[in-house]
Structure formats: structure tokens, C-alpha cells
Structure 1
Amino acid sequence: MKTKYFMPVLFLFLSALLVCCTEEFVGQPSTDSTSPGTISVVKVESTPGGANIIYKAPSDPDLLYVKAYYELNGKMQNTSASLYTDTLKIVGFGNTDPQTIQVCCVDRSGNEGKAVPVDIKPLTPVVEQVFETIHMVTASGGIQLTWENKVRESVAIVIYASDNNGYLTEADVVYTSVPKGKYTLRGFDDKERTFAVKIRDRWGNNSEIKEGKFTPYFEEEIPKENGKGAMKRYWLPFDNPTNISWTNFEFWNMFDGITVGENMFHTNYGPPQSPVYFTIDLGCLVKLGRYKLWYRQNTGWGHHNPRKWRLYATADPKPSQDAHPSDEEEYWNKDANGVPPGKFATDTALGWYKVGDFEAEKPSLNGGSPQDDNDVMLSGLEFEVDPNLPPVRYIRFELVITWGGATDNVHISEWGFWGKIIK
């Protein structure tokens, strides 16, 4: 019995072993070894840092794609285009030097055809375009940068600041693709130091370094004292009341440090009053440098969150109050033509100054993403103040329009002010 079944069992074992040791082919088997034809270049369109090669593909029935390969910053790069298009996009060059791109066809058997050399001459790369537009100015606690990126390519803006020994060290990196950008680097004292900036792209190309000496404006956050304290409401004629009895949307909510949820100040619903005014007493005389405003988050970039507004300021409103009755509309509210603001806004003789016209910039309206919108809303809208503004204590807000289109109602979650306290 044992002898009878030994050979079949041995045969099955050896067969299984043979199968296990056999390498199985994975993928589409080769159908031929014939190389595909070559492309015919129709035209070359130069682009920033590259080019678009427009071609006519050969009529090979098994053509799979067209491939380009070239040297970029010391390394070989390749890109491809499917058989359903007629354009190869070449990118990544950091200068305008002429380049030669090798282009070949690849068929479904993996055969590569003869490479066709294509000469291109890139336009000015994005790192250089952005670098030429970047501008640095002194800001509260640091410097402010502005730039343009018309082609909206992703770049990194690398910012440097000199340390206590005078050496430039990397202070921050801003990643951006918006067509017009602005960023403020803060956290520095009011001593002269060197700041510098360069532009870098994802292929490792770098612009030159632009540097300059700046003395940041001194700044400290103006204390709020948790609402009902240092910062408080100051009543001026035609200021909008807050008497929404079924809410707790009180004025001091704007100074309690809470920027989330429904914690906010909400002006009166009626009777309609346009424009909306209210006045903030900072609690001390301040050389104002900047301020931040936080939206009511549950309504985002909409409803009664302000889109455009104006600010006026004075060190002391009493001289104008003594000189102008509270019912004098042309002075406190609208001029003789019924156009806001009243004449107080330009009454420098009695100590009033216009801080500025301000508009909230929604990132997605300027090439940004919905996530950018949310990030800005959560972090607060920040605005610089003209350094030539005299020291002030009282800030009068005038609404121009909200994101919902209203001119007679506004809600704000929080304010923050920075500058130098005089007394």
C-alpha cells in the first residue's frame, strides 16, 4: 500500500514546488518590438519658467503617450502627455536661458521612439516676477510686505531678520499663490535691524535677496480689562443704541477676549438708522499702530458682519461737544446734502482725525480658497494705522455696508488695539 501511493504523492509535491518557483508575469504582455514614430512640432509657446510644446502625434495605432525629458537644476526631469492631448507643459526653470527638451513617443508595448530635440526659451520665472514686486515697509512691531503674483503660481516668501549679533536668520516663511498679497512680520522691539526677503519655488529656484534696515514701531496691546473696564462705550450724538431686550449682545462683549460663538455686540434693529455710529473709549491716550476686528462666526462672511467702514479718532471729544449741540445733524451725522459723515469727521481744529476707510478682504475673492476665508475669519481682520496719526483715545466707528448689504445694522464679536500708551 505504501509503495502504491508513494510516486503520485511525490509527483504532486514536485509539481507544486515547480509552480511556486515559477515567476508569474504581471501586466500587459509585449505585443511588438517596433518603436513608435516621432512627433511633429506645431509651435512652442513660452511661459514663465517653461514652455508649452504643441505637437502633432504620429499615427501609430498603439501610441500610449508622449514624453519629454530635460535637465533641471542638475537633475533629470520628465513629464508626459496622454494621447488625448496635443500639448506638453514644461515647467520649473529659474531663468530665461534657452533650453533643449527631448521629446519622444511611447507605445503600449513600452517601446520608446526616437527623441526629437525641441528648443524653448522660458519667460521670466515666477520667483523673479514676484521678487520684482515685493515691497517692505515699517510696521507695528516689525515690517509689512506686499507683493503681486499675476500668474498665481505657488511660491514661498522667505523672510529674514538680523539677530542680536547682526546675523540674518530665517524669521518666517509665507506660502502663497494669491495675485495680490500682504503679510506683516511682528514680534520685534523698536530698534533698528536688518530685514530681508527672497522668493523660492517648488523646484528649488531662488530669487536674489532684498534687504533693508527698518526700525519697527513700538507696540503693546491696549488693555481691555475683560469688558466693562478700561475700554468702554462713550456716547456721542447719533450713536446707535443697543436695546435688543431678548439678547445679551452688549457693547462690552467686544472687549472681553471672546471671539467664538454668539458672543458679540449687536446694534439696535430699529428704527432704521444709517449710517451706524458708535464710539469706543480706549481708556488711555494711545499712539495707535494697528487694530484687529473679529466677526460673529456663525454668520461668517455674511449677514451684518461689516464689509466696509470708516474710523475717526480724537484725544478729547468734549471741545466739539461743547461747540455743537447733540441735535446738530450736519455736524454729528450727515452733512447738508444728507451724505455721511457729519462735519466732525474733518474738524481738525477741534481735534478730530480720520483714521481711514477700511474694507475686509475676503481671500476667496482674491484667488484664495474657502479654507483661507475661514482661517482669516478665525484669526481676525488686521489693519495698520497711519503712523502720522496723533495720539488718540476715542474711536468713532461708521458703518458703510455689511456683507449682507445692510447700512443700518452691524454686529462685531471683538476688537483689539495695539500701539504705544502715552498716558
Structure 2
Amino acid sequence: MHLQHIIQQMAFFAAVIVCLHACSKAKDYNEPISGDKTKPGVVTNIRVANFNGGSYITYDLPKSGNVLYVKAEYVINGQTGKKRQTKSSYYSDSITVEGFAEKKEYEVKLTTVTRSNVESDAVTVKVFPDTPVYRLVAKTIRIQPDFGGLNVQTTNVNKKPVGAIVLYKPEGADKYAIYEQRFSDFESMGFSTRGFDTLPKQFAVYITDQWGNNSDTVYQTIRPLFEKELDKSKFFGNELPSDGKIGFGWSLSNLWNGNTGGTGWHTVQQNVPLPIVCTFGLGVSAKLSRFVLFGRSGYEYAHGNPKVFSIWGSDNPAPADAVLPVFAEEGTVLGDWVNMGNYQWPGPPSGAPPTAPTATDRAFFNKGMEFNVPFTAPRTRFIRLAVSESWSGATFAHAMEITFYGNTN
């Protein structure tokens, strides 16, 4: 036991020495390693490859042994004079410069910097970036009336981060102000801005990027479409053979009884294939705009509350059953049914894990979650709510209330 104790002590002190050595190395890394104040040579053999909004610059490093990095300094916007600086370590033979506002020639100054923070003479390189992504996306802006507002669509084939900024000028106002902002790197970005009556409104949209470049603004007068809440007294259950079996004395009609507490729709807790589905009629043919879904309180981000789900619709007066897939693209037609939208309930807004939501997260959850129905979705008389994944991953589902909005004219 004595020998084992000695061995344990030796191992402990060895670990301490290694730690101190590592800490010393980490500290030294942030301090000048070299006292050599010699001015370094410049980069040579420079080659340029341009891309949308930027350029790759490749070079040969000087023979100096104490070069730490290469620095690029350049103006990205000639109108504003905005500058950027990019660095690349001595392990690399290239540097990327990006964020340029236009497709034109720009100058980039390259400087080598030593471990003693001594800079070389600057070498000027001319680059000619291709059309920036934000300008390409701006050419695809499509604005059209939507329920209670407008719908904006853009295409981003490069899948680079951009923002779509919606401006609104109220009647009698002197200028436009930002009303909504959406950011995405998806190939297609589409969203609706709502909250307006049906009188003509003045809107505008422009595209921005992460470097603060802004496109030309597209102006358009929009007459928002009429929207109202659908009358729930006309809803009725329309159970189909592939629907989930309801259990615990709950009822499908609880989904539209106006009560977000108490009991709702709840399927049996059995090992059954996904998705878990329920089917009901709206009592009218409607062009839907959006819906609000309420989960089960007390089980926020847990149990059988829907996490990933889809809405299927049919305008057939008596739609036949169809076994729905776990996932299908929007617009997919399956028998009498069409996929009208795929959805995911967002996680706790605080960033906390779903298993430990904060009180604020729970309150946010229990307000219900609003989801937009794609503007391209057809009219429908019947709805199928298909839950592909619950927050617990179980093969049952529950929800308390669903409210639809749209136009029945």
C-alpha cells in the first residue's frame, strides 16, 4: 500500500508539472516570441481567383523565419469608405477577402507581420469580385398581397447569409421605416408580414448582407387580402382508418372547443407507426393563411406535445383515407390529400434544453404557437394534423386547441 501511495504521488506531481508547462506555453504564445526586429520580406507570386462578392488571393511567403501572419486591408464600399481587415497565419499560403459591395475592381494591400509585430512594405493587389450575393438575391425579390399584409419571396442559389428588410410608410408619414427583418442562408426565403387592413398600403423591400451592404429598394403598393378566424362551431370530427386511436376519455372535438386547458386530443400510448394523425372538417371551403396550435400545459417541450408535424388538406367533399408518410414535400399529393405545410415547434427561447425550460419558456409555450400556411397552398375543406415527432420521441401525441385563419369567400 505504501508503494502504491508513492506511485500515486509521483503521478500527481507529474500531472502538475505537465499542466504548469502547458500553461507556460499558452502564456508565451500571446507574447512576442522573437526579439528580431528585422523588417520582413513581402509576399510574391500573387494569384487571384474571384468569386461572388470576394476573392481568394494565393501567394508565396518570404523566406523570413519569424513571419507570424499576412494581413489584408481593403475598402469594401467606395461610397461609404467602409474598410475591412483580414488575417491569415503563416501556415497558409492564401487569404480570403470578401464583403465587397459591387462587381468592380478593388485594391487590396497585403502586409507580412513578424512575431515581433514588425510589418513589411505593403504590396497592392487588384481584385475584381463577381456580383455580390445580396445583389443577386435582390434581383429575385417578388412581392404580392397576402392575408392581412404582403408576402415576400426571394431566391438565393449561393445559399449565403442575407437579410430581407421590409419597409412600411403609414398614411400621412413622410418616410418609410423598417417594419420587419428576416435573415436566411436557405436557397429559397419566403415569409408573410401581417397586421394590416385591406386598404392599399405602401411597402418596400431591400436585401442586405452581413457586411452592411444594401441593395436598391423595391417599392410596391399592396392591397392586403381579407382574413378572418374560421368559425369553430362548424368544425366536426372526420375520423379515418389510419388516424391515431384516441384514449384517456379525451375527444378530438376538444381541439376546437375554445378551451386550452382541461382535456384535448390525446392518442393512446401504444407502439404504433408514425405519424400520429387526426382528421376533421372545417365545415367550409377556405383559403387558409395561418393557424395557432396550443400544446398541453404542464408538459411543455415534453411528452406527446408536437415537435415536428405537417398539415394535410382536401377540398373533396368526402375525402378517402390515405396513409400519410412521416415526411413529404409541401405540395405533395396523396390520393385526395395535399401537403399544405411542414412545421417544427421552436425550442425554448431562452436557449435552455427542452428537458429544463425556464418559467419564461413555459409561459411562451403556453401562449400557443402561430404557423403560416404557404400562400401557394390550395383551398381546403378538411384538415389532417400529422405529428411525425413529439418532444419525448414517443409514439403518441396530444394537443389542446387549434385555430385557423383565412378567407372563406
Matches within 5 A, 1:15-54: 28=32, 31-54=35-58
In the alignment, which residue of structure 2 is the partner of 1:67?
Answer: 71
Aligned letter for 1:57?
A: L
Shift in alpha-carbon separation, 1:421–1:146, aligned structure 2, 3 A:
closer
Q: How is 1:73-222 mapped onto 2 (pairs within 5 angstroms)?
A: 73=77, 74-165=81-172, 168-222=176-230
* Higher alpha-carbon Rg: 1
Partner amino acid for 2:89?
S
Alpha-carbon distance between aligned partners in 1 of 2:153 and 2:373, rounded to the nearest angstrom = 14
Secondary structure of the residue that 2:62 maps to in structure 1?
A: coil
Contact 1:254 1:414 in 2 (8 A): yes
Classify 1:386/1:87 alpha carbon distance in 2 versus 1 (closer, same or farther; 3 Å).
closer
Maintained 8 Å contact 2:291/2:372: yes
Give distance in 2, aligned partners of 1:131 and 1:37. Answer: 43
User: Residue 360 of structure 1: SS of its match in structure 2?
Assistant: strand
Distance in 1 between residues matched to 2:241 and 2:399, nearest whole Å: 19
Residues 56-113 of structure 1, C-alpha deviation per residue, up to 9 Å, x if partnerless?
2112111111111122331443221111222211111110111111101111222111
Gaps of 5+ in 2: 1-29, 324-332, 355-360
SS of corresponding position for 1:212: strand
1:381 paired to 2:367 = no
**Which whole-Å CA distance do the structure 2 matches of 1:241 and 1:233 have between them?**
16
1:29/1:105 CA distance change after superposition, 3 Å: same
- 2:288 corresponds to 1:289: yes
User: How many equivalent residue pairs?
Assistant: 347
Range with bigger deviation, 148-157 or 197-206: 148-157
Residues 364-392 of structure 1: per-residue CA shift (max 9 Å, x gap): 9xxxxx97x99999734321456984xx7
CA distance in 2, matches of 1:79, 1:144: 38
Match among 384, 387, 393 for residue 397 of structure 1: 384
Q: Does the aligned pair in 2 maintain the 1:266–1:411 contact within 8 Å?
A: yes
Alignment of 1:419 with 2:406, yes or no, is yes
Distance in 1 (alpha carbons) for counterparts of 2:122 and 2:187 = 38
Amino acid at match of 2:201: R
Instruction: Provide TM-score, normalisation by structure 2.
Output: 0.69
Q: Give the one of 312, 330, 333 matched to 2:321.
A: 333
Aligned-pair CA distance for 1:121: 0.6
Q: CA RMSD in A?
A: 4.3
Q: Map 1:204-353; keep pairs closer than 5 Å.
A: 204-222=212-230, 224=232, 230=233, 232-235=235-238, 238=241, 240=243, 242-245=245-248, 248=250, 250-253=252-255, 256=258, 258=260, 264-267=264-267, 276=277, 278-281=279-282, 285=284, 287-292=286-291, 294=293, 307-313=309-315, 332-333=320-321, 345=336
CA distance 1:294–1:40, change in 2 (3 Å): farther
Task: State the alpha-carbon separation in 2 of the partners of residues 165 and 409 from structure 1.
Answer: 54
What is the TM-score when the length of structure 1 is the normalising length?
0.67
Mapped to 1, the partners of 2:139 and 2:400 lie a distance apart of 39
Closer, same or farther: CA 169–303 of 1 in aligned 2, 3 Å:
closer
**For residues 37 and 363 of structure 1, do their structure 2 counterparts lie closer, same or farther at Cα, with a shift above 3 Å needed?**
farther
- Report if the CA contact (8 A) 1:253-1:265 is conserved: yes
CA, structure 1 residues 238+107, in 2 after alignment: closer, same or farther (shift >3 Å)?
closer
Report sequence identity in percent. 21
Query: Which residue type is aligned with residue 45 of structure 1?
Result: A
Letter in 2 for 1:84: Y
1:201 counterpart letter in structure 2: D
Q: Structure 1 stretches of 5 or more lacking a match? A: 1-25, 225-229, 321-330, 346-353, 365-369
Q: Is the 8 A contact 1:276 1:409 kept in 2?
A: no
Change beyond 3 A, Cα 1:257–1:309: same
Q: Determine the structure 1 residue equivalent to 2:59.
A: 55
